Structures are given as structure tokens and as C-alpha cells.
Chain A
Amino acid sequence: MKKGFTQSIHNALGNQNLGGILDRWNYPVTRAKAYEGIDFEALRTQIAEIKGSAAGHLNELAEQFKKAAEARGAKVFRANSPQAVKDYILELCLEKGVKKVVKSKSMASEEIHLNKDLAKHGIQADETDLGEWIVQLAHQTPSHMVMPALHLTKEEVSDLFSKETQQPLSNDIQELVKVARKALRGKYFAADLGITGANIAIAETGTLVIVTNEGNARMVTTLPKIHVAIVGLEKLVANYVDAAPILTALPKSATSQLITSYVSMITGPVQNDDGTMKDLHIILMDNKRTEMAKDPEFKEALQCIRCASCLNVCPVYRLVGGHVFGHIYTGGIGTILTAWFNELKTTEDIQGLCIGCGKCKEICPGKIDIPGLILQLRRRLATKQGLPFIQKTALQIINNRRVFHAMLRAASLGQIPFAKEGFIRHLPMFLSNLSEFRSLPTIAPAPFRDLFKKIRQPKCKTKVAFFSGCAIEFVFPKIGVALVKVLNKAGIEVLFPEGQSCCGIPHWGSGAFDMAALAAAHNLKPLMAEDVKYVVVACATCATALKKEWPHILKAEGMENLVPVAEKLASKTVMFTELVDKLIAEKRLTLKDGQKLQSVTYHDSCHAKRHVGIFKEPRAALAGAGFEVKEMIECDTCCGMGGSYTVKQPELSMSMLKRKLDNVEQTGAEFLCAECPGCLIQIGGGLDKRGSKMKAKHPAELMVDRFKDNPDQD
């Protein structure tokens, strides 16, 4: 990561205006209200089909659009490059003697830096969307795709407007809006040409669909005699009726509105106020979109309807904004689009900001796997440029079980002088920025595999294999011990296949799919060697690997022969609470008499909730073990750990943790519980550093003494 980039993150974290604005908006709640009574899954499946199918036929649809729009009297120009778009517009301006241009919001024109080129040729282009105008006056780029000036305060806007209109102004937003109305009104009337984008382009009818709230696009398409629309090819849909689901979702996802104030559907030229007909030019811009459509992985990104909801829910975006997290197009989807519309290298730093929490994927109306595609970018960068030496070496060591284990054992001895009550109080200097908000756990004196041998288990007919993962093996072996004890109470014997090692998710998350595939391959044999009913994991991250990702990773890396085994393993892998919930329901686990009801708040780890869909089971299991679950605000928002993310982006990680800790403590529960050792390190360390009375515990630790002894029931 470049030094300047780290500095820009630091600076952005110092300015929490944008985050505060997003918080006050309360987007998740207002969005949900807008979608009341609508089957969102069905709607987005429909949109994904419409847009996905269009992406598969971009060229045909563009030709169909051209033909239909030309039949109605529009001039349609297909442009491959940004330069071709600009040349066309400049020639038109020259030919018609255009000096003044008004624009309604067009991300496509931002993408090609059109205003700069127009200015170079003495043509004044004024933005009329309020946010775009503010950003133009500030000589900046949009920080948000729907709300471009979200990062600026009313005070800053007031300064900009005062300067522009040469009058002293207050900070009253209502007044500022009226100042803009007055200033821009004159510009519409004076303009020779109006430029718009389009939210949808309908091939069947040659129609442009333009969505606004302010009404500026109506002015831009009505008052000047020439109208130029710049339309990215991904805006094409086949049929008129295809516009309905997009228009249903876009305002709800973008601004929590049922519909925007204005939707204009323009087909061919209409009348000007002097009786002439509009001179309508439609530029269909490619700029790598057809190339993107040919990429089997990235074609999906063309399903985007530019609602920017992925920005609104992103825990990283709300901290750093679009000037850090993006490049013209912002946030998660912006990172992906930038890699194509600019080049892969442009996203080298930006892609590293995604923590992979999956919040955006959940709400994307285009059904795009945004974190998955960012991971693909990471993979391609890693393949193209190679990982940095230190990172690569570290990942190689993790994959070499003997070396890794020997190293961690040595580390555990070395760290003993720093340990107090299980936490490091004083870290070496180079780790000091990591311990500012959070204590770090020590490496346990004995790893789980050593402790496991000493546990005396009853002989049972039902056997399960336990996959511990690195964190339980070396940092929290007590979780593993508790897990064995709980399952023994249900008459289940736990086996620990010795050949297991790291699940490979750290490699995968770094874009090193090849090393992740090796990790998967190493593990399959020992895990499948035993004849067991289930493979149990107590770590959400490992669950992602075993239950879901291994077959995909192996396939992606050409190890197809192992895919059926990996799929078989996936089908028999369960998370600990998932199994406990089942055992309680089957009455194989019953609460001991006289247990005190204790309270707990449950943190959904990103991997458990959004990767493998386990979030009801842990709550039910905790309730069955005699705990009252007190829900926290944003219970499924990322804690900021994200594996190596906390090391690569320490400042962001700590900012996310702070918010999590506030929400956790607000519940007043006795325990914080998460079924992910990574989250426990992060949140537990944060609570410790704050001197909180609350303890962070794994469900197995909380349940270890709660159930009656049961004989083997098989």
C-alpha cells in the first residue's frame, strides 16, 4: 500500500462528517420501510435476469436501440472510447456554435472527465444537480454515486455558494437550496445544449429513462434546443416492460423512496418552445463494457443499477468516504468498475479497503456478489504482480503445518513475560498501534492438540470430527476443550484428526487462491479418513472454508478431481451451535436443574451470518442453554477484525471496533458471545482495553457446564 494512501485514510478518519450524515439517515431502517410489502428476493432475481441477459447481448441491443431511436428521429452514435465521446460532443458544439451547456447528473460524463475537455475548448458546462454543482464549485469529484456532495457540510456549501454568487449567505440548508435554484435557473435559459445521462435505455423502443428528484433533467431536456444523452452500454435493457422492476427497486435502494419525484421516458425528439423539434443525440458508450461482458466472472457487475446502496451499508465507506474508497465510481461496486473503466492497477490500493463482510451483497438489487468480485480483483492482482515478499512468506509458513506450529510454540514461550490474565498489556513498539484500542491475546502455552490427548471421553457410538482452525488450536484451546465436553454430554465422542492444518481462508482473502487450494487439499484427506457423522467447526471463518468455499476454490485452481470430496465434506460440516441447537431439539442435550439465567448479547460474525447463513441457530442454542439473548444495535455489522485486515488497515479496523464496542456495551448484558475466534480476539481485546466488566466468550465456553450428563443414546 502506498504511503500517500495510508495518509488519506488517516485524514478521512479525522473527518467524520459523512459517517455522521449516514448515521442520521439511518438507511437500513428507511430502506426496509420503502420495501415494505415487496418480495425483495424475487424483485432482485428479476432484475438480475433482465440485466444479466442484456449484458450477454450488449452489441445486439445497442444496434436495436440505434435502429429504434433513429426511426423516431434521434441521432445515435456508438463510441468505443472516452475520446470518441468527447470528440463527437466537441464537433457538435463547434458545428452548432454552442458556448454554454447545462448538465443533469451523468456518471458516464464524470467517467470520461467531459467538463475538463469542454472547458479547454472554451465551452462552459454547468452541472445542475445540486450535489454535482456543489462538487463542481469545489473542484472535486463525487464522493457518492447518488449523493455526490455527501462529504461536505452546510458550512462548506455556504462558503462555496457565497463565493459563486458573491453575496454573504447563512448556513441554512433551505435557504442555500433556494440560492442554487435562482443561480441555476438563469443557466438553463441561457444554455445552447443540455447533457444528460440515462438510468435505463430501452432497446425495443429506443427510449431513454431518466430518474431525478430535483426536476433538473426536465429543464435540461426542455429548455436548450439540443439534447445529448451519454449512455453507458450497461444501461440497455431489451424491452419496455423491463424498466418496471428497475424503476421499482432503484429509488428504494438509492434513497429509501417509493419512487423519485420525476421519471422521464424520452423517445425521439419532442417539440422545443419555439416550435422547432429537439436536436436529440444519443451516445452509446462502450469504454470496456463489452470486454467486461465477455469476462465470465465480471459480467455480473454489469447488473448494477447504480443505486449506491452498497456504499450506504459499507462499514468502511462510512468511515473514509468515496474520495478514498473509489475513483469517480465509489465504494464496493466503484472499485470493480474502476478496475475495468480505468485499469486493474488503479484499484491496487482501493480493493484492499474491502473487509469482505458481505453487507453489500445482501442488499444489492442487481444481485451482484460485490465482495466476491473484489476478491477476484485481488486474485488477479496477486497473480499479475505477485504478493509482497513478507506476506507471501507468512502465508507459505501457515500452509506448512510443522513450521507454523513450531513457530507458534516458540512465540508462546517468548510472550509469557507480557501476559497478564491472558492478555498482553505491553506490546513491542512495532505493534503498538494495534494495541491502542485492543489488548491482544497471548499464544496459549499448550495448543489444543496437546490438551485434547488429555481429555477423557466416554466411548460413544456417535462420533464427530473436530476441525479446530488455527485460532482455537493456538490462542483459544479452551474453546476446543469446552466443545468436547458439551458434545460428550449428548453422548457424542469427538475425534481430532491430527493431519489438519490452516483452512486456507487467509490465503484466499489475500487473493492467493493457489495457496488456498493447497490448504484445502491438505485437509481433505485427514478429515475424510474418519467414519464420522459430522465434521464440527467452532470458527465461522473455517466454516466458510469447509461448508462453502473449498469446492469453489479447488475448481477455480484446476483441482476438479477433489471437488466431489470437498462437496461431500461440505454437506457433513456443521457449526458448533448449529449442532447444539439440533441436539437440544432432539432432547439429547437438556438443561441442568437450578441454572441461573444469565444474559448475553450475540455478535454475528460476517462469515457465519452472510457466508454460511448461521444466525438463528446460535441464538436458539444459547436460549436452550439458559441464556437470555439481549440484541445489540447492528448485531451483524463487522467488528473490524477481518483476519489480516486488522494488520493491513489498523486504523480502519480500530474505528470499526469502537462502534461495535459501543453497541455491545449498550446492551448491559453479562457476556458478549460470538462463534468466531477472530471476532473474540477483536471484541474481547477491545472490552479488556476499555476495562469493561463484560467478557467475550465463545458459545462452547458459555455452555460447558449447563447441560445434564446423558448416557450414549445410540
Chain B
Amino acid sequence: MFEAFKAKAEGAGCQVVRFATRAEALDFILQFMRDEGVADAPGTYAVWADSPLLKGIDTKVLEAKVPGLKFTVTRQLAKDAKIGVTQMEWGIANTGTLAQDSSAVEQRLASALTWVHIALVGTDNLVPDLPALMTKMHPSKNGYIALITGPSRTADIERVLAIGVHGPERLVIVCVDELGRMNP
């Protein structure tokens, strides 16, 4: 399932990485932020919306490790952020899609306004297709279901593909084996 998901997500223009443990994934993300020049100045922040990966981790320590990384996601901070991190609940293998209940506004701000969206997903939380996802997520429980596949794109000028028109121009998917089966 992972290989199929990875192939489709890459086909949609994503970067896909996979780690066994939360610690490894965390290291990757922090290093990624440093490499991308995250710093404590408007335009270079990183915002991280509340996610299960952070469970039991002191975010203050992380903020100290990477200056500019914020765990409070406001409208203004998201606007001034380069990178946004959110955790998605499911992945759809046959289209390379990520799915999330984005009812909480910080999830939408961090994934919609930033240049780079880092999306975390449990490797075990992949389903084969959309009908399978619909058995997992339902409007009766989830007020704002967001399906995300690849970066923001347009072909509205002469049908030429351009990436990053309103939303992120990069989508990095971090699959974490240890995060598996965390969802109801």
C-alpha cells in the first residue's frame, strides 16, 4: 500500500519520506526547517499545528532548537510563515491523497497559507481509495474534511502548469510507521 501511495503522491508532485519512529521523523523535520532557512523573522517562520506526533514532547525545547518555529498558529503567523506542519489522518493510495479533519482553524491556516506544507501521516493509515476513506471519515463527525493531493497548482494561463498559485508550492509527506493506528 505504501509503495502505491508513494508512487501516486510523487506523481502529483510531492516529496515522500518514511521513518520508523517519531524521533527520526522529528529529526528530519527540524533539519528540513534549518535547511530551508527558518528563522525568527516574518517570512521565515515555521508554524506547527497541534498534532499527535507532538504528544509528550516539550514544544518549548523544539522552539529553542529552531528559532522561528511556532506552535501557536495564528492568522498573522501563518501568513508570515514559510513552512507549515500539520498531521493528516489518512492517506489514499490510488491517488496519493492526504485526508484530514480541518475543523480546527490552525490546521487550515498552517496547510493553506505557507509555501511549504509538511504533512505527517501514519504509514498504517493508508486506505486503497476514496470509497474506503469515506468509511473512515464522515460529515456527521468531521465538519471540514480536507483532501489534499500535491501542491497548489493551476493551468489557467495557456494550459501551462504552474505550481504554488495560492497554496503551498511544495508538499512534503512524512510517513511515520510508529504513528500507525492512532485514529479511531
Contact of B144 among A129, A130, A148, A265 (CB under 8 A): A265
Contact of B130 among A215, A248, A261, A273 (CB under 8 A): A248
Smallest Cβ-Cβ distance to A25: which chain B residue: B159
Interface membership of A150, Cβ < 8 A: yes
Within 8 A of B (CB), among A590-628: none
Contact with A along B80-102 (1 / 0, CB 8 A): 00000000000000111100001
Q: How far is the CA of A214 from the CA of B162 in the complex (A)?
A: 10
Q: How far is the CA of A271 from the CA of B139 in the complex (A)?
A: 16
**Which one, B35-43, B118-126, B148-156, B172-180, is touching chain A?**
B148-156
Interface membership of B108, Cβ < 8 A: yes
Q: Are A266 and B144 in contact (CB under 8 A)?
A: yes
Q: Are B105 and A173 in contact (CB under 8 A)?
A: no
**Which one, B16-24, B25-33, B54-62, B163-171, is touching chain A?**
B163-171
- Which 10 pairs of residues, A with B, have the shortest CB-CB distance? A215-B167, A131-B156, A205-B139, A263-B147, A265-B145, A267-B139, A177-B162, A215-B152, A130-B156, A273-B75
Question: A537 CB to closest chain B CB, in angstroms?
Answer: 42
Q: Are B149 and A214 in contact (CB under 8 A)?
A: no
Q: How far is the CA of A173 from the CA of B161 in the complex (A)?
A: 9
Interface membership of A149, Cβ < 8 A: yes
Contact with B along A626-662 (1 / 0, CB 8 A): 0000000000000000000000000000000000000
Q: A130-B156, A215-B152, A261-B149 are in contact. Are A244 and B131 (CB under 8 A)?
A: yes
What B residues does A255 contact at CB under 8 A? 155
Q: Are B162 and A174 in contact (CB under 8 A)?
A: yes
Contact with B along A226-247 (1 / 0, CB 8 A): 0000000000000011011001
Interface membership of B146, Cβ < 8 A: yes
Within 8 A of B (CB), among A256-284: 258-273
Interface membership of B51, Cβ < 8 A: no
21 contacts across the A-B interface (CB closer than 8 A): A22-B159, A25-B159, A173-B160, A173-B162, A177-B154, A177-B162, A185-B166, A214-B165, A215-B152, A215-B167, A218-B146, A244-B130, A259-B97, A262-B146, A263-B146, A264-B147, A265-B144, A265-B146, A267-B142, A270-B105, A272-B105
Contacts A181-B166, A267-B144 known; 20 new A-B pairs at CB < 8 A: A130-B154, A147-B155, A173-B157, A176-B157, A177-B164, A214-B166, A215-B112, A219-B112, A219-B166, A222-B112, A241-B134, A258-B8, A261-B12, A261-B148, A261-B152, A262-B148, A264-B102, A265-B144, A268-B143, A269-B143
Interface membership of A153, Cβ < 8 A: yes
Question: A667 CB to closest chain B CB, in angstroms?
Answer: 28
Interface residues on B, range: 35 or more
Question: B136 CB to closest chain A CB, in angstroms?
Answer: 12
Q: Are B156 and A149 in contact (CB under 8 A)?
A: yes
Grouping DSSP codes into helix (H, G, I), strand (E, B) and loop, the B interface class, with mixed when no group exceeds half, is loop
Smallest Cβ-Cβ distance to A148: which chain B residue: B156
What B residues does A532 contact at CB under 8 A? none
Interface residue total, chain A, C-beta cutoff 8 A: 63
Question: B118 CB to closest chain A CB, in angstroms?
Answer: 16
Q: Are A265 and B164 in contact (CB under 8 A)?
A: no
Contact of B154 among A25, A214, A240, A272 (CB under 8 A): A214
Q: Are B150 and A261 in contact (CB under 8 A)?
A: yes
Within 8 A of B (CB), among A167-181: 173-174, 176-178, 180-181
